[in-house]
């Protein structure tokens, strides 16, 4: 039995998950996937054990500022959030791998900002997990220690509550990568990794997973088989059709929800920031 499942049993979880609460004020057309009267017993028990840390992103991280919701990047990520929440209202999707064909295409930035946008909805408890053990950046973006983190948990060195931190004043939780390891793929093949990813949605409405690029490591491919869905990030002027084709072809299962296009031309923007345009292609049956 996994340590996550054991923790849920000890908390006497009823089976309800912490989603959007009934009566919560939501933006127009923002569907709520799961509704409960109060956070589940398991989440309440977990919240009493984990550390709350200040929400103080690195100055050069270019993360969304919840106090400035009118900026162009925030609007783009809210649009992406709305589309994902609509899909979630139709399908039981609560864990999402964010990856890209190659490095430097914006996957970590997308994962972090999407998590911030999701957490802005009342009661929408969101976890951002850094499963890129090779080149992790989530701890840098949020100015938190890299360890203890996921690798420490998978090696049995720390309990689950030691690797989850709640950002103060938000519904956003983060799991950093943990100490550097020589065998990241072998660690991800442990049963504990699969159990962790499969059982975290019992605690969070969205589990957003940052991973290495598809064409440079097998990690994202493996993680995509454990999660409910995958979102691919590409960069205008950098990503080639060939790399996208090869990245999709490398997947063991086709659970791609869509593509996020990064780095639009500055002339197309109405802000000083480069932001993301998103679209979803209809899946062939």
What is residue 252's predicted lDDT score, i.e. its pLDDT? 84
Q: Which residues contact 59 (CB under 8 A, 6 or more apart)?
A: none
What do you get for the CA distance between the two ends of the chain, in Å? 36
- Token couple for 148: 């203890």
What is residue 26's predicted lDDT score, i.e. its pLDDT? 36
What is the strand order of the sheet 229-235 is part of?
Answer: 51-53, 164-167, 172-175, 126-130, 206-210, 95-99, 229-235, 256-262, 277-279
Torsion of CA 178, 162, 173, 278, to 10 degrees: 30
Q: Is 120 exposed, middle or buried (0-12, 13-18, 19+ CB in 10 A)?
A: buried
CA distances to 72, 99, 264 from 275, rounded to whole Å, are: 7, 17, 7
What is residue 52's predicted lDDT score, i.e. its pLDDT? 94
Residue ranges in the chain whose pLDDT is less than 70: 1-40, 42-43, 69-72, 264-285
What is residue 278's predicted lDDT score, i.e. its pLDDT? 41
Give the three-class secondary structure for 274. coil
CA distances to 5, 103, 138 from 171, rounded to whole Å, are: 22, 29, 17
What is residue 145's predicted lDDT score, i.e. its pLDDT? 96
- Token couple for 65: 């500022």
What is residue 57's predicted lDDT score, i.e. its pLDDT? 92
Strand partners, 197: none
In the block, tokens 């990794």 appear at: 193
- Tally of CB atoms within 10 A around 281: 9
pTM for the model: 0.79
Give the three-class secondary structure for 128. strand
d(CA 46, CA 144): 20
The domain locations on the chain are 3-18+35-57+72-279
In the block, tokens 């454990």 appear at: 226
CA distances to 237, 264, 273, 280 from 268, rounded to whole Å, are: 15, 7, 11, 20
In the block, tokens 């009566």 appear at: 23
Among 99, 129, 150, 284, residue whose Cα is nearest residue 206: 129
d(CA 202, CA 192): 16
Length of the chain measured in residues: 285
What is residue 73's predicted lDDT score, i.e. its pLDDT? 73
Q: Decide yes or no: CATH 3.40.50.300 for domain 3-18+35-57+72-279.
A: yes
């Amino acid at each position: 039995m996994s340590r996550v499942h054991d923790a849920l049993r000890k908390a006497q979880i009823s089976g309800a998950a912490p989603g959007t609460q009934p009566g919560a004020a939501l933006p127009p057309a923002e569907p709520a996937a799961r509704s409960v009267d109060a956070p589940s017993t398991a989440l309440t028990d977990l919240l009493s054990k984990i550390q709350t840390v200040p929400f103080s992103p690195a100055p050069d991280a270019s993360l969304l500022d919840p106090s400035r919701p009118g900026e162009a990047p925030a609007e783009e990520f809210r649009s992406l959030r709305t589309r994902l929440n609509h899909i979630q209202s139709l399908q039981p999707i609560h864990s999402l791998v964010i990856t890209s064909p190659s490095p430097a295409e914006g996957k970590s930035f997308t994962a972090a900002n999407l998590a911030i946008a999701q957490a802005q909805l009342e009661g929408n408890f969101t976890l951002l997990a850094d499963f890129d053990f090779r080149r992790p950046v989530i701890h840098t973006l949020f100015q938190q220690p890299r360890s203890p983190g996921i690798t420490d948990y998978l090696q049995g060195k720390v309990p689950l509550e030691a690797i989850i931190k709640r950002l103060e004043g938000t519904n956003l939780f983060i799991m950093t990568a943990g100490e550097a390891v020589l065998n990241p793929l072998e660690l991800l093949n442990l049963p504990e990794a699969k159990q962790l990813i499969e059982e975290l949605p019992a605690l969070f409405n969205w589990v957003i997973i940052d991973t290495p690029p598809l064409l440079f490591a097998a990690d994202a491919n493996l993680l995509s088989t454990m999660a409910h869905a995958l979102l691919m990030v590409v960069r205008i002027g950098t990503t080639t059709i060939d790399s996208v084709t090869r990245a999709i072809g490398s997947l063991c299962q086709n659970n791609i929800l869509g593509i996020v296009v990064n780095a639009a031309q500055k002339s197309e923007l109405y802000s000083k920031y480069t932001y993301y345009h998103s679209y979803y292609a209809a899946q062939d049956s």
